Chains A and B, each alone.
Chain A
Amino acid sequence: MIKKLRIMIGTNKKNILALTFIFSSLLVLASTQFPPWDVPVEANDLENPITVDKKNLDAGKAFFDLSCKACHGATGLGDGAVPSGDFTTKAFTGQTDGAIFWKIQQGRGLMPSFKAVQETSLWQAITYIRTLAAPQEIVAMKNATIVIEFDESNSKKLITAKVYETLENGEQAPAKEVKVNFFIKRYFADMLIGGSNNYTDDNGSVSISFPEGVPGKEGKLQVMAKLDDSGFNPAGLTEEVAWGVEKAAYWNDDRQLWKNNDFVPLWLLISFFGVIGGILIAILYVLLQVVKIRKLGVGR
């Protein structure tokens, strides 16, 4: 077998050259290009049902950042976690929205299938992806400040953020149609409340109702309002409010299975170290016997 291989490869230099060529071209292919997709004609002709506007673009960006950015990179160059093609090339932008939609739903290789996701989200993502290729017009980012107000007067807990943009003359004016997200600070990630679709009204203010029953130490919660808008520099504000509920069980010193090593249940502590201790004592005893055996043989 090996001999045969040698005859095949070793005696013919042309073969080696050919093999090298094939292998290297395969490598190059594998690293830079994906095979073309067979997009069905009906899918190709499908039209994007949504309008290109700020809300849809914002939603598309939010969805892209959440579900696609990790692999495709923040700017869609395919420079994320896995090589995944460039969204800014002619080859990509030349295709119809329908074709892109079909590919996203279908998936291939490391590209997951997004069939289970609402179609609107995918269309919004496509609308947003399209803007990645267009050279960004450079707009001067505006500055804004946020004020948070808490209102409990109508037996309903309402949280309001007021956004004021700083005008060129230094004055403050209410900022209209600006997207604001609200969060409650948690141990790990921040918890989004009130959905991700809140825009300021004509007075520059936006309100959401505050969720009931969020646990917090002594009922205190850290609430954040963050500006999430392409026309503004990032801005945010954190305020404390005692609208949470104290959950005594969260903070007590009971011994529990799920807690850390300082709160191991006693029965577990005793059985664990009891068993280990018992075994170690037995082993130690035996080792002592071994030492004795050794001593007994000295000088004989």
Chain B
Amino acid sequence: MSAETTDIQKTGRSLKEITSDLLNPIRSKKSSVSLWTMLLVFIIIIGVYAYIYQTMTGLGVTAMRDYTSWGMYIGHFVFLVAVSLVGSLVTAILKLLEIKWAAPITRIAEIIAVAAVALAAITIVLDMGRPDRVLNIFLHGRIQSPIVWDVTVVNMYLLISVILLYLPMIPDIAIMRDTLTDRPKWQRKMYKVLALNWRGTDEQWRLLKRSIRIMLIVIMPVAFAIHTVTSWLFAVNSRAGWDSTIFGPYFVAGAFMVGAAAVIAAMYIFWATKPAYKKYITSKHFDMMGRLLVLTGLVYLYFNVNEYLVPGFKMQKLDGQHLMDLFVGHEAPLFWATQIGGLILPVFLLCFKKFRKPLPIFIISIFVIFFAWTKRLLIVIPTLLTPTFPIQNVPESWHHYIPTYYEIAITSMTVALVLLIITWFTKYFPIIPIWEMAKENGHDNPHEKVVLDDIEKD
């Protein structure tokens, strides 16, 4: 228990201890294909098969029809964009505010962001009947179209996220370049290239810190833009449920909430599976992230109240139809499960310290993530099924949307890919920043020399 609760700042661990703790998972000589990876690859293979079939047969294999022309894929896309926003929340906001406790979890947040936004971009392509024409968006896209803005900003965010993941990692990569000499040749070569001749000189530190700072500032507006523009894809249409002026902040608030939950879930998995990490990710982190989840959850709740209550008070014709469908109609079970299980209950429970302990908060976070996903579906699909003109003279099945196995398989593939990217990343890079931990423990300039000396001594 004591190792778990001690404040990391005061422990004064030696550099050697820190490096060996954090590089251990990369050093381990265990067989490189775990059961977990195999499971993910299996899901991906099924998804690839489904996708090939979909591309050859056409989008008819999905449940999307004339009315529900955006289905699970687009809902899932919005979800992935939302999750990816956490990179900027934890990294940029907490770092710029110099909130020290967040240091060990910034990289977790960043790799989640990179993986999620990369797959978000891919998910858009998966939703295309003619993916070979994807370049036409760039060649012939109209700048007036929010879709073009969205494609642009998603790619920008991906680029910035990758840079922001990489920059703070350079000193760590240099440490690995110099210490992990028993690795395969390609891996040593990769470290050598990525380490950029890092020697930890004062000038190098100065340039690196300035670059990180610039990126931290740049990622903020882009992060807000990515999810605001994603919300505009809906809000610029005057349709029931989308015709809202608060969609931008509503989406961003929701994204911060699910993002925080995603970090907690990932944090827990690293915490639970790698004993050495327990020294760095402590119950304090779960407690603080829990509070952050409550805060973001309350903001999101506030937006939800506005989003549903104001049109609910007016009950204009189509809005009313759409809302009744959500409140008491066909969508009601999912809607209330989402609102209560994914928002009200988590916020309420996490107000108590008991529930901010690692395991309870992990379980709560999983619920938050799952219901954040259903929430995105509830934003996209019911509106499409409430068109301005009544649905007439079409087959019965067009009145509803129930995703087909193909859609489920392809969507699962993207989730598996997100997890696989994170898994592979942890195989080759330390998920907890070494040099930042060193700094926290009073080793002010942990450049490679110190590390080497320290390690060679024994």
Contacts and interface: CB of A to CB of B under 8 A. Distances in A.
B207 interface: yes
A198 B198 CA distance: 85
Contacts of B392: 116
A279 B196 contact: no
Contacts of A283: 159-160, 163, 218
Contacts of A290: 167, 196, 211
Contact of A292 (B149, B167, B207): B207
B2 interface: no
Contact of A113 (B141, B215, B393): B393
Contacts of A268: 143-144
Contact of B204 (A67, A107, A114, A293): A293
Interface in B178-222: 196-199, 201, 203-204, 207-208, 210-211, 214-215, 218, 222
B404 interface: no
A276 B156 contact: yes
Interface residues of A, number: 37
Interface in A256-290: 257-261, 264-265, 268-269, 272, 275-276, 279, 282-283, 285-286, 289-290
A296 B395 contact: no
B393 A117 contact: yes
Given A258-B144, A279-B160, A283-B159, A297 B393 contact: no
B222 A289 contact: no
B223 to A, nearest CB: 12
B170 interface: yes
B142 interface: yes
Contacts of A257: 144
Nearest to A67: B393
A293 B143 contact: no
A112 B394 contact: yes
A296 B447 CA distance: 15
Nearest to B398: A112
B426 to A, nearest CB: 24
A110 B398 CA distance: 9
Interface in B302-324: none
Contacts of B167: 286, 290
A294 interface: yes
Nearest to A109: B395
B152 interface: yes
A107 B142 CA distance: 41
Nearest to A259: B144
B458 interface: no
Contacts of B160: 279, 283
9 contacts: A110-B397, A275-B225, A283-B163, A286-B163, A289-B207, A290-B167, A293-B196, A296-B203, A297-B196
Given A286-B163, A293-B198, 12 more contacts: A109-B395, A261-B143, A272-B143, A276-B152, A283-B163, A283-B218, A286-B167, A293-B196, A293-B208, A296-B204, A297-B196, A300-B197
10 pairs of A and B residues whose beta carbons are closest in the complex: A297-B197, A294-B196, A289-B211, A286-B211, A282-B218, A289-B207, A297-B199, A112-B393, A116-B392, A110-B395
Interface of A: 67, 107, 109-114, 116-117, 257-261, 264-265, 268-269, 272, 275-276, 279, 282-283, 285-286, 289-290, 292-298, 300
